[in-house]
Each structure stands twice: as structure tokens, then as C-alpha cells.
Amino acid sequence: MTRKFIPYLLALLSVSCGGTKKSDATATYSNPVIAADAPDPSVIRAEDGSYYLYATGHGYPIYRSGNLVAWERVGTAFTDRSWPAAIRNGRRGDLWAPEIRRIGERYVLFYTLWFGDVRYSVIGYAVADGPEGPFADRGILVDSQQIGVEQSIDPYYYEENGRSYLFWGSFRNLYVMELDVTGDARIAPRPETKRLFAGTAFEGTNIYERDGWYYLFASTGDFAGGAESTYRTVAARSRSLLGPYADRQGRSVLDNGCEPLLQRNDAFAGPGHNAGLVEDAEGRTWMFYHAYDLSCPERGRLGMLDEVRWDEEGWPYVENGSPSSKAAAPVVEK
């Protein structure tokens, strides 16, 4: 989810607050790794070894990195000419919460169009031959009014055993359904397979499989509000991809049970809506997300990175349970 920020005002504030931080990727890095408004990140590693991060914003800003900590903006997924075709009442929606995947030989970008009303939004997809695009719209997969799910946003794609799934939803329950996908990344929804997945506390679905467990990462609370944001990252797990997921005490996510993973501290507020977890060359697990810098919350939701660790019972945690200001950097094979 997102709020619009006036682009030139954000640029001025970024300068007034010290501009973009550069990290020492050889040993340590500093948060934020993207000192610009880059909410709801989604990350992929391309064939050349570079990482690409897509974020909510006009046209979906695209950032590129060779080491996960030093990022440069390289363009947008959509331009005014290539904007997704779905419209409502003669106007296009705002682009929220991208999801990037490689399907066959194509890069597939799942997008949300939000029209300012929880009763109507759509999720579609576009394809490109390379991570920087150009992305060509291939149409709508989820129409909230047709499928009967309010706030149909925040898509997440997962493949397992030859089947493809789309998870989606935000604070009006989370849902999942199967997709039919061809080798040329032609995708068709299967609405008859739609099922309730989690309760009303969550948005920003993300699934990660490890040691026979499926981990649900999601966000709760208010994403907006700057320094007052109550947004946070939570987790639950299951032995099956489709659930049931539960917290340590066995409380189901259908009843809004969850484990806290990442909460605010004295430096950052609203840490949430994480990207898919990334493993580095040493097998460490990393999570991109967004947060407000309390020294200058007017800059918006900045791009953040932290290591996810695993306790003796296999539950994920982040050191101190909150965003780091400085930490040991990932090790990335060139």
C-alpha cells in the first residue's frame, strides 16, 4: 500500500536530510540501503548476477545492485505510454505493491491498480525479456468485484510441484488461488480454486520454505503515519504451503495469530511489507522491507535490509527484533 508523495518535495527533503547514504559493502552496511521513498519492495536476481528491486511509486521505480547494499535507480517498469490498460470510470489507478518473478524465459511483474476504494481494485501482470523492461501488459488476473474480495492488492506468486499460486489481500482476509501458467508466461486465473488463507490482521503476504516448514511473512498495523506508524512484520508457519499456519502457541492465522518479527525502535518506525527472502553466498538469509527514518520521516518509506536468523526451534528472528542501523554486510558471489 502507498501514499502519494510530491516528487520534487521528496527530492528536496532527501537533500536536506543528508541525501543518499552509501554503505561499506566490504564489511558493514548502514540502513537505509535506499534512502528514498521505496515502499513494498520486491527483489529478484537476474542472469548477470545483479539484483533488481521494484517498489511502489509512479511507474514502479526499479533499482539495481551488485551486492545487495549499494543501489542505483535505473528506471521504471511502466511509462505513461505503457501504463497497464485497466481503467475505471475513465481514469487509471495508482500502482501499488509490485511482485517480480522469472517464469520460463520471461520476467513477470504482477501489479496492483488501486482506485481509492476498498471495494474495487485489480491485480494484473506484465512481461519483459529483461529485468529493466520494457514490460508489456498482459491483462487482469483478479478483479475485486468479480471475485468477491475487497482490497484485492498485494499479490505474491509461488510455484510448487508444477502448480502455480497467487496469494493476495489486505486487511479484508488473505486469499489464495491456483493459476494456469504456460511456458511463455501466459497466465490465467482459476477462481474456482479460491480459498481463505489468513485473517483480517494482515497484508503483504510472503512465503518462504525452509527445512520442511513454510513460513508466512506478513505485515500488520497502520502503514501510514510517518513517525507514528504502527506497521510491523510478523510470521507464522505450516507444514503445508496452503496451511493451516499458526504461531508458536498454535494460534491460527485465520484467527489472526502471529509471531512478532520486526518492530519499531528509536531510529525507525513502521518496518514492514518485506520482499521475498534472499540467501547470500554464505547461506545467510536477508529481508528487504520499508520503514520511516525517525530523523526525517518526511522522506517516506525507505528501503531497508536486515538479516533473518533462525532459532533452535526453527523460528525466524531479527537481532533485537527491530531495524538495524549498521550491521555486517551480505556476502555476494560475483
Cα distances (angstroms) measured from residue 158 to each of 45, 107, 172, 265: 16, 14, 21, 32
> What is the residue-averaged pLDDT of the chain?
92
Residues 302, 320: Cα–Cα separation, whole Å: 20
- pLDDT tens per residue, range 11-61: 444 444 544 444 344 589 999 999 999 999 999 999 999 999 999 999 999
What is the SS3 assignment for 256-325?
CCCEEEECCCCCEEEEECCCCCEECCCCCEEEEEEEEECCCHHHCCEEEEEEEEECCCCCEECHHHCCCC
- Residue 166: the pLDDT is 98
Q: Which CATH number fits domain 7-328: 2.115.10.20, 3.40.50.970, 2.70.98.10, 3.20.20.70?
A: 2.115.10.20
Mention every residue, 6+ apart, whose C-beta is less than 8 A from residue 285.
Answer: 277, 278, 279, 307, 308, 309, 310, 316
pLDDT in tens, the chain (334 residues): 544 433 334 444 444 454 444 434 458 999 999 999 999 999 999 999 999 999 999 999 999 999 999 999 999 999 999 999 998 878 889 999 999 999 999 999 999 999 999 999 999 999 999 999 999 999 999 999 999 999 999 999 999 999 999 999 999 999 999 999 998 999 999 999 999 999 999 999 999 999 999 999 999 999 998 999 999 999 999 999 999 999 999 999 999 999 999 999 999 999 999 999 999 999 999 999 999 999 999 999 999 999 999 999 999 999 999 999 999 999 998 6
- Residue 19: the pLDDT is 45
In this structure, the chain runs to a length of 334
Give the 3-state secondary structure of residue 125: strand
Residues 92, 225: Cα–Cα separation, whole Å: 25
- Residue 328: the pLDDT is 97
Domain limits, the chain:
7-328
Residues 119, 325: Cα–Cα separation, whole Å: 39
Residues 44, 64: Cα–Cα separation, whole Å: 10
- pLDDT tens per residue, range 117-157: 999 999 999 999 999 999 999 999 999 999 999 999 999 99
